[in-house]
């Protein structure tokens, strides 16, 4: 009986270990070894490509703490996705992510892109379903990936993170709509909900509006109060969903009223850690809706044409045209007979038409990505 009981305990232990497999490894990139922890669920067998989630720690934290804090493992065990917890590099003795801070610092975009490639060599990863989430500085970095690595990161979720104002506008270059979930407490003293201009942190409502506009979502959200199932956490939750975006994209906000700089659902966070929602479950629910093909199957030429704003039109001397996220474009002006009367590459978003005769013309714009659009203007 004792031998049988011991055997059962050993078998149970082996299954428990298998159910919580964490691979600790590193890759060499940017002149240094970069470490990470990879969680592989027990039901993963490599026969079908599975999603991958990047889970990025906050400033002063690390991969091990983020793995425990966010506790995605039970969700991964059921949904069968892989989750990697990379480590940032050190600045002033603390780990951090270079989330749009300075190009002179470490290139974390290159590291995370190389990490995806490295993991794909060993595991069967669905590269159309790679997502990023993170806490605080890791949330900032997830927004940075949405701006600069949208060809690889399908959707992002930021918990208590924001965007630096230096990234706002022309320094954010998503190649297509990026679904975004933001989870943030109104009493967050580290990354204030209302922003911190002295540290260039955007207000959270501005962050949400920024992505709503980028993704062409409905400006008016659907709203719901999350049921207040925990009466001891000192906070409640509101849910805002901006749907109808290009490619089916959406932006969601969980606004934690009186919530602090914490991960909702973490059971030992104390007052200010919302327990009405489990942030990890909500993030996976959000991610699970999106794949890259559904977000990139849009007519880039049509999108480009819709984004061009010519002024003044009619024009006398200088024609201005606004093209968001484009630093250099090739332009060609043709008359109504199709004759090319002007051709150049410009970085100024303006051309001189002073020497053209009065009449109707067509401005053809070609971006570096190959998108082409033609827009009519009148020379007076």
Question: What digits encode the pLDDT tens for the residues 236-261?
Answer: 999 999 999 999 999 999 999 999 99
Tell me how crowded residue 48 is: count the other CB atoms within 10 A of its CB: 9
pLDDT at 20: 62
Instruction: Select the highest-mean-pLDDT range: 21-30, 307-316, 352-361.
Output: 21-30
Peptide bond preceding 288 in cis form (omega within 30 of 0): no
Average pLDDT over residues 15-35: 82
List of domains in the chain = 19-296 (3.40.50.1820), 300-379 (2.60.40.3080)
Contacts with 288 (C-beta within 8 Å, 6 or more apart), sequence order: 51, 79
Q: At 204, give phi and psi (nearest 5°).
A: -65, -40
Instruction: Select the highest-mean-pLDDT range: 134-143, 291-300, 364-373.
Output: 134-143
CB-CB contact of 180 with 212 (8 Å): no
- Which of the pair, 13 or 92, is modelled with greater confidence? 92
Assign 94 a pLDDT band (cuts: 50, 70, 90): very high
**What are the tens digits of pLDDT across the range 55-83?**
999 999 999 999 999 999 999 999 999 99
Q: Answer yes or no: is pLDDT of 372 > 90.
A: no
Q: pTM for the full model?
A: 0.76
Assign 329 a pLDDT band (cuts: 50, 70, 90): confident
Average pLDDT over residues 116-138: 97
Average pLDDT over residues 350-358: 89
Closest of 181, 232, 228, 179 to residue 204, by C-alpha: 181
Q: Answer yes or no: is pLDDT of 2 > 60.
A: no
**How far is the C-alpha of 174 from the C-alpha of 151, rounded, in Å?**
8
Q: Answer yes or no: is pLDDT of 321 > 90.
A: no
pLDDT at 5: 37
Tell me how crowded residue 242 is: count the other CB atoms within 10 A of its CB: 23
Assign 349 a pLDDT band (cuts: 50, 70, 90): confident
Among 176-185, 193-202, 361-370, where is mean pLDDT lowest? Answer: 361-370
CA dihedral 231, 233, 235, 236 (to 10 degrees): -50
Q: Answer yes or no: is pLDDT of 12 > 80.
A: no
Q: Answer yes or no: is pLDDT of 19 > 60.
A: no
Closest of 131, 230, 125, 143 to residue 182, by C-alpha: 143
The token duo for 182 is 């933001």
**How far is the C-alpha of 59 from the C-alpha of 238, rounded, in Å?**
26
Residue 30 is classified by DSSP as: T
CB-CB contact of 22 with 33 (8 Å): no
Q: Answer yes or no: is pLDDT of 377 > 60.
A: yes
pLDDT at 300: 57
Among 145-154, 292-301, 348-357, where is mean pLDDT lowest? Answer: 292-301
Average pLDDT over residues 193-215: 96
- Which of the pair, 353 or 339, is modelled with greater confidence? 353
Instruction: Select the highest-mean-pLDDT range: 147-151, 208-212, 311-315.
Output: 208-212
């Amino acid at each position: 009986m004792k031998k049988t009981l011991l055997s059962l305990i050993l078998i149970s232990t082996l299954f428990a270990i298998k159910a919580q497999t964490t691979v600790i490894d590193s890759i060499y990139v940017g002149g240094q070894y970069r470490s990470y922890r990879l969680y592989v669920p027990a039901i993963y067998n490599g026969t079908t490509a599975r999603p991958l989630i990047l889970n990025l720690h906050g400033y002063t934290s690390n991969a091990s703490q983020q793995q425990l804090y966010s506790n995605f493992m039970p969700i991964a065990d059921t949904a069968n996705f892989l989750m990697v917890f990379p480590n940032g590099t050190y600045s002033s003795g603390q780990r951090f992510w270079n989330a749009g801070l300075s190009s002179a610092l470490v290139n974390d975009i290159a590291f995370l892109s190389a990490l995806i490639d490295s993991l794909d060599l060993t595991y069967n990863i669905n590269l159309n379903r790679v997502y990023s989430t993170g806490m605080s500085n890791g949330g900032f970095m997830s927004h940075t990936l949405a701006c600069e690595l949208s060809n690889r990161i399908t959707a992002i979720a930021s918990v208590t993170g924001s965007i630096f104002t230096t990234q706002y506008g022309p320094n954010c270059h998503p190649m297509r709509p990026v679904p975004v979930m933001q989870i943030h407490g109104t009493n967050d003293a580290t990354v204030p909900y209302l922003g911190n201009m002295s540290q260039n942190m955007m207000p959270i409502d501005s962050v949400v509006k920024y992505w709503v506009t980028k993704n062409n979502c409905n400006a008016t959200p659907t709203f719901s109060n999350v049921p207040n199932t925990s009466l001891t956490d000192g906070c409640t939750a509101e849910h805002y969903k901006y749907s109808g975006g290009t490619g089916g994209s959406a932006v969601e906000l969980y606004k934690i009223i009186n919530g602090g700089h914490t991960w909702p659902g973490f059971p030992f966070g104390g007052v200010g850690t919302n327990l009405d929602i489990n942030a990890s479950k909500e993030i996976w629910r959000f991610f699970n809706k999106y794949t890259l093909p559904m977000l990139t199957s849009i007519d880039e030429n049509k999108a480009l044409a819709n984004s061009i704003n010519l002024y003044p039109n009619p024009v006398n001397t200088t024609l201005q045209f606004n093209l968001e996220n484009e630093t250099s474009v090739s332009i060609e002006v043709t008359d109504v007979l199709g004759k090319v009367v002007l051709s150049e590459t410009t970085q100024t978003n303006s051309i001189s038409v002073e020497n053209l005769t009065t009449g109707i013309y067509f401005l053809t714009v070609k971006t570096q990505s190959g998108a082409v659009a033609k827009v009519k203007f009148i020379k007076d």
